[in-house]
Amino acid sequence: MPSFRSPKHQAAHAVSQRLAIGKSRHDNRDSGLVHSLGTARNYASALAGFTRFLSENRLGDLAGATATEALAYLSIRSGEVRQSAIDLDRLALQCHLGQRLERVRSDLVTERGGRAYSSEQYQLIREHLSPRNALGVCRAF
C-alpha cells in the first residue's frame, strides 16, 4: 500500500526506526543502527531526496524501495553532485535497505589543488598595494 506521507516525513520515519541514541555504538558494532543525531539528520535528508525520486518516477514509496531503484537513483545523482554527496546517499540507502550497495563514482571532477595564490594573482595584488606593503608581499612570496 502506498504511503501518503510526504517524502520528508517518510524519510524521517525510516530513520527513526533505525535510531539508537543513547546506546553505545562500540557495544553494538555492525548493528545497522544510527547512534548520532548528526548522522540521523544527514540520512533523513538523503532518504528524502531518494523518496522524491521514487514519487516523481512513480516507483512507489520508501518502504517498498529496492536495491535496483537505489542504484538507478545513485547513477542519476552521479551526474549532479560530487563524490562525497553520492557516498552519503549510498550509506543512507544501505542503512535503510539493510544491504550493501556498490560504490557509484561521480561524473564531476573534484579539484584537489592548493588554496594558495598563483604567481599571477600575487602580481595583481602587489600592483594594487602601496610600495611599503608590496614589499611585505614580495618577501612572503
C-alpha cell at 6: 510526504
Per-residue pLDDT at 72 = 96
pLDDT of residue 138 exceeding 80: no
Q: What is the DSSP string of 70-126?
A: HHHHHHHHTTTS-HHHHHHHHHHHHHHHTS--PPPPPSSPPP----SPPHHHHHHHH
Between 45 and 31, whose confidence is greater? 45
pLDDT of residue 140 exceeding 70: no
CB burial of 3-21 (b: ≥16 within 10 Å; e: otherwise) equals beeebeebbbebbeebbee
Q: Return the number of other C-beta atoms located less than 10 Å from residue 46's C-beta.
A: 24
**Contacts with 34 (C-beta within 8 Å, 6 or more apart), sequence order:** 15, 18, 19, 20, 40, 43, 95
Q: Return the number of other C-beta atoms located less than 10 Å from residue 42's C-beta.
A: 17
DSSP helix/strand/coil, 19: strand
How high does pLDDT run on average in the chain?
87
Per-residue pLDDT at 4 = 78
- pLDDT tens digits, residue range 47-87? 999 999 999 999 999 989 999 999 999 999 999 999 999 99
Per-residue pLDDT at 2 = 65
- pLDDT tens digits, residue range 82-132? 999 999 999 999 999 999 999 999 998 777 767 778 888 888 888 888 888
Model confidence, pTM: 0.73
**Contacts with 48 (C-beta within 8 Å, 6 or more apart), sequence order:** 7, 8, 10, 11, 12
Per-residue pLDDT at 130 = 87
Per-residue pLDDT at 25 = 78
pLDDT of residue 1 exceeding 70: no
| Residues 88 and 42: beta-carbon distance below 8 Å | yes
Per-residue pLDDT at 44 = 95
